[in-house]
Amino acid sequence: MGTCHQLRLLHHRADDRIDFSFNDTAGLARDARAGLYEVIKRFIGVETVPNYALMIFVSALALIANAFSLIILQRTRSKEAHIQASIIFSSNDVIINLGVIAAGLLVMWLGTQIPDLVIGSIVFCIVISGAIRILSLAKK
């Protein structure tokens, strides 16, 4: 989950409000369907045990980058909508990175894909929750 990729949904206007167009909402729905598809596909057994070493390595790198981004954003203490949206996504990214690292460790210890599936489902819920929080910023 890249903060920059997720922020493509946002358009910052001069009055510091977030404007969502129909295409942005359709893109959000498309991304949600894609995430749900991945979770279902993995639960029904199409995927094998994931590469836990790669999961942990990539998530650890992403955690470092996302944590630094979050620290920088929080130091601005800005109440501007686009900064608040970035903080929401960055904090979600940090939580998700920690979850993926935990899933990787559990996959390694248990030798099953179940932890990845459970954490993947939780990640899906976190992403949807973040999107809803961002949409609520748009209504203010």
Encode pLDDT of 1-12 as tens digits.
444 433 333 333
Q: Which pLDDT score, from 0 to 100, does residue 139 have?
A: 72
31 CB-near residues (< 8 Å, 6+ apart): 127
Neighbour tally for 131: CB within 10 Å: 20
Average pLDDT, the chain: 76
Residue 71 has pLDDT above 90, yes or no: yes
Please determine, for residue 130, whether its predicted confidence score (pLDDT) is greater than 90: no
Please state, as a whole number, how many other Cβ atoms lie within 10 Å of the Cβ of residue 15: 7
State pTM to two decimals.
Answer: 0.69
Q: How confident is the model at residue 133 (pLDDT cuts 50, 70, 90)?
A: confident
Q: What is the largest CA-CA distance in the chain?
A: 52
The pLDDT, as a whole number, for residue 111 is 87
What three-state secondary structure class fits 66? helix
Report yes or no: 138 and 97 within 8 Å, Cβ to Cβ.
no
Q: For residue 102, what pLDDT band results from cuts at 50, 70 and 90? A: very high
Rounded to an integer, what distance in angstroms lies between the CA atom of residue 102 and that of residue 99?
Answer: 5
Does 46 or 71 have the greater pLDDT score?
71
One-letter amino acid identity for 27? G
What is the percent of the chain where pLDDT is above 90? 26
Bridge partners (DSSP) of residue 18 are 12
> Rounded to the nearest 5 degrees, what angle is found at the Cα of 64, between the Cα atoms of 111 and 12?
115
